[in-house]
Structure 1
Amino acid sequence: VDGVRILKPETLAEMLTAQNEDVPLDLDLRQGLSWVLMDRQFDDAGRVCHHTGSTHGFLSHIEILPDYQIGVVVLSNTQKAFIAIEAARMTLKLALRDKTGIDLPEPPGPAHSPYSTWAKEKLEALAGIYATEAGYDIMKAVPGGLEWWSSYGEETRKLMPLENGWFALPDSQELQVEFSTISGREVMVFHEDALFGLVGRSLWGEKYEPVPVPAAWLNRLGKYEVSNLYPDDCLRYLPEKVQDLSGSVELAVKDGILVLGCTIQGNSLLLVLEPINNTVAKICALGRDKGGAVQMMTVNGEEQIQLWGSLYKKP
């Protein structure tokens, strides 16, 4: 600013250095200090760094190619991240081509692999419940593969084994599913253009063995309404599709699993809960907002659910 450098060169270098190289569960993600340091769309363009941020009804994305000294900022009146990210990518690719003549190819998807046959015992070892980003999936061993039911969309599909050791749908291999043990955790890994094409692999679920639901939690089942919003809080007036806060939640037991149903930006999600004691339950699965807790609080003599800073009480 005014000819004065704000950041030391070594500070900037550290910001653009991956901080998570010893975290196997991060898979392909390379995370610097605030900056994400990978995008498959720019694998052949040297270093890349980008960051996305949003608030209610607004989203921005910045993406930079430091080696070519070009970057793009997109500001949008939407919370659909793929719109801003795709606009930034298209613009950045055109700028790179105009400046250097480099015309970047589209990154390939997972390589096609012939379908295979697995023994029943091998398939049964993968069967079970997997806590996911959006709820839970149930895998059942069936002749020729796995029956895959997901609480997200309540859809049943069949996965067939491949010679590469992964699974795919019978009519498409654009998505391939790997069952693996990483850092001692049994996980489902998606091989596809995940996270808007930023990475080729992403964690989807972790195998979960349901625990008995204590009577204290069973007695609380039902719907709850948010109770700690100010009367004039803008969240009360926003359309559901841009709401980051669920106006209501529902505590239920499904397939023997304690779950908390909520709606985020118009999407109905289930949080898989594992009771730790009579008042605290862990949010299962891997990923953002997972590994935290749901807690029962007593407010003015009334039990309420505390989730991510919000309180919910029965109507």
Structure 2
Amino acid sequence: MEKISYSIDRLGEEITNELKRLNNQKPPKAVMLVGGGSLTPNLPKVVAENLGLPENRVAIRGIDAIQNIKLHDTDYFGPELVTPIGIAIAAKQSPVQYMTTYVNEQPIRLFEVKSLTVGDSLLAAGLQFNKMYGKPGLGLVLTVNQQAITVPGYHGEPPEFTKNGQPCSLDDPITNEDRITVVKGKDGLPAKVTIQDFMDSVPSFTVFVDKKKVFLDTFIEKNGKQAKPSDGLFDGDRLTLSNEFTVEHVLRSNRLEHWLQKMKPFYITLEGKEIFFPPLTGKLLVNGKMVRPSHKLQPNDKITFEEAEIPSWGKIAIRKQLSLEKQNSSLFSRGTPFII
């Protein structure tokens, strides 16, 4: 008794705390203890003390407290018989049937308290549904125009269920001896993207070069190198997409470099001194306004070129008030020497 007194006190405390909880935190007028556990030494006394009741208000009752039963060939009516007899009475009044199913060849017994389904059988087998789905595939982390973008992998597949060899769902009813098979879903595939998937965010456009329609593709650069729309992307790749085109880019891609050559300043070298003639230089126009080759284009811009005036030595002399009778003076026009 000395060894178990602590456990008895704790058991009595738990019982009385539960009684008070069920009785609005008030002790009942009396307590009846039944079942084998009621035979624990000193338990009625401990319960009475915790509830503040006289000891005679806490009693142990045997099966004599159960009405409408007949016992044959026994003179013992102890409290430990209350539990099995109570189970027998409940089974007679509300019979409970059970069935056996097999989940991945493991037998599972289920009480038929309701219409049972495949899901009930799987829960009884202890399967964790969150672990039956395939894992998502690995994603990609990319940098597109200096902005970090995460591309998720493909979703994992759900598990597959069969009942007696036929596909089924979790809500399908089951019967005795049904055989249920669960196959874990396949894992998702890693993310797979190409440059083309990102090009919608940078629309292309058209311009007109000397009344000719020119389509400008998006400028693509992957990891510092020029790339194609069909190229695949991998984790950590850095992608640059741009639709900022200059006049020079368009002229060179359309084999009009000679326009750029004609835009160079026209000058002559007279006695070692360079003399420039701006009116004799070609003019590059966008929408009728003179621009530099580095000018950035907008959709539907119209690029034209205005040829320079064809120079003659007479016109040059008049513009700079030169005397053509002067001798031994070297004259150079873009590297070509002349003697005036």
Q: TM-score, normalised by structure 1?
A: 0.22
Looking at secondary structure, tell me which structure has more helix per residue.
2
Q: TM-score, normalised by structure 2?
A: 0.21
Looking at secondary structure, tell me which structure has more strand per residue.
1
